[in-house]
Amino acid sequence: MKNWHCLNKKELRKKFISLRNGLDEVYVAQSSAEISKRVQSLQVYQDAKTVMIYISYRNEVSTVDLIKSALSAGKRVCVPAVTNIDKAEMEAFEISTIGDADETVLGICQPNPKTALKISKAEIDLTIIPGIVFDERGFRIGYGKGFFDRRLKGMNKSRVIGLAYDFQIIKEILVDACDEAVGGIVSQTRILKL
């Protein structure tokens, strides 16, 4: 294991984006399928009637199959959509197919907030989010805008799961007062409940 703890957030973000960008399609597909299977085995997922799942971007853990499986299982599925870029605000909007996310903001597919049905935090039983790197305490580094940290503020962390490849989970990252932890992390070989 490398000594990642000596790097600041900016350095970690750059290093782990580079590592993730270097992944081949087979690794992404196989790892994402295993992670999806592990998520579906969790009781919190099985019990959830409404789930918020991010739509994967570039080489993030792919969520397309997980979204399709959740919809097939009769779950109500919503995905995050940016509603105010300047204030780094996002809300959750219901989709009935992956094709409902037909708008692109910051390069990421999302539903149109003007036409899609907004789902309140209180209605969501499970929130599944991405990260560039996570630590074993559940803290994460994203792209640095704070969208998910703002979204997670005040939420029940036992109902928030981050998805990561094994190499994206490190011992500890430096955190700021505004950083919010997830309640669990699922990778292709581990389920960390925090």
Q: In angstroms, rounded to a whole number, what is the distance separating the alpha carbons of residues 186 and 9?
A: 21
Q: What is the pLDDT of residues 6-62, one digit of tens each?
A: 678 888 999 999 999 999 999 999 999 999 999 999 999 999 999 999 999 889 999
The fold of the 4-193 domain, in CATH, is Rossmann fold (3.40.50)
Q: How many residues does the chain have?
A: 194
Q: What residue type is 116 in one-letter code?
A: A
- In the chain, where are the structural domains located? 4-193
Residues 6+ apart with CB under 8 A from 182: 129, 131, 134, 138, 140, 152, 157, 160, 161, 162, 194
Say which residue, 99 or 80, is predicted with more confidence. Answer: 80
Q: What is the pLDDT of residues 62-96, one digit of tens each?
A: 999 999 999 999 999 999 999 988 888 899 999 99
Apex 68 CA angle, 64 and 74, nearest 5: 150
Q: In angstroms, rounded to a whole number, what is the distance separating the alpha carbons of residues 50 and 39?
A: 14
Q: What is the pLDDT of residues 34-43, one digit of tens each?
A: 999 999 999 9
Closest CA relative to residue 52, chosen from 139, 116, 135:
116
